[in-house]
Amino acid sequence: MTVARGRAYTGTVSAQPLLVVVDYDAGNLRSVERALAHAGMAATVSADPAELARARGAILPGVGAASDTMAKLRARGLEGPLREFIASGRPFLGVCMGLQALLDRSEEGGGQECLGVLPGEVRHFGFERLKVPHMGWNQVAWTREHPIMAGIADGAWFYFVHSFYPAPADPALTLGETTYGFTFPSVLARGNVAATQFHPEKSGAAGLRLYANFAGWVREAAGA
């Protein structure tokens, strides 16, 4: 199966609801495409706000710095449409920088205002005795039930690459936790929004299952 870049896949899954992977020049778009194709989900990689507005589900992937991410989202006219999409109640998944961008602000680069969808901030690990960035495989302990973690074991291993971590203002936003020097929230969720600090597309079977779960959530929410 292939997933067309910039348009909806028109093969055997054409009747499925449209899922948009938001393109703001993030480096891991192709890996996300392949993971979604493995899950059998029709997907479009697009920077077009109109396609985002029509979508039944959306993924904001990401690598890099908060300032670059927000600058690119603004330059492509995506900042407002992303907030509007999330406010509509349709399923939304943030990945790595796509998680951090959902919070109010980041400490990165001396301070950066983000989307403000979830209350809280992004902080630097600030370790002297542990390597930063936190890079490699680590475990996630689930704190509650959610559609994206169905069938994924508590303590499953996922792949991380990050120097900053989310610090939500409300502990109830935490869906999963990971320990690296201390225990930090590695998965956040509220309502129609879920977000992972790790990269599911680099996380083997557990990551592919998470994308498949998200695809199923989109289909269910769309009544498909």
Q: Residue 207, Cα to own-chain centre: how many angstroms?
A: 12
| pTM attached to this predicted model | 0.90
Chain segment 140-171, per-residue pLDDT in tens? 999 999 999 999 999 999 999 999 999 999 99
How far apart (Å, rounded) are the C-alpha atoms in residues 8 and 185? 34
State the amino acid at position 136 in one-letter form.
G
Average pLDDT over residues 5-29: 60
pLDDT at 199 over 60: yes
pLDDT at 11 over 60: no
Looking at 51, 108, 162, 199, which residue is catalytic? 199
Inter-residue contact 96 to 60 (CB < 8 Å)? no
Active site residue 145: no
Inter-residue contact 23 to 46 (CB < 8 Å)? yes
Chain segment 19-47, per-residue pLDDT in tens? 999 999 876 788 898 888 888 887 899 99
Active site residue 107: no
**Does CATH number 3.30.70.141 belong to domain 19-109+119-222?**
no
Looking at 33, 79, 96, 134, which residue is catalytic? 96
> What's the length of the chain?
224
Angle between helices 79-87 and 66-75 (to 10 degrees): 90
Looking at 33, 51, 108, 201, which residue is catalytic? 201
Active site residue 201: yes
Predicted confidence band at 12 (pLDDT cuts at 50, 70, 90)?
very low
Average pLDDT over residues 69-94: 96
pLDDT at 104 over 90: yes
pLDDT at 6 over 60: no
| pLDDT at residue 141, as a whole number | 98
How far apart (Å, rounded) are the C-alpha atoms in residues 215 and 18? 10
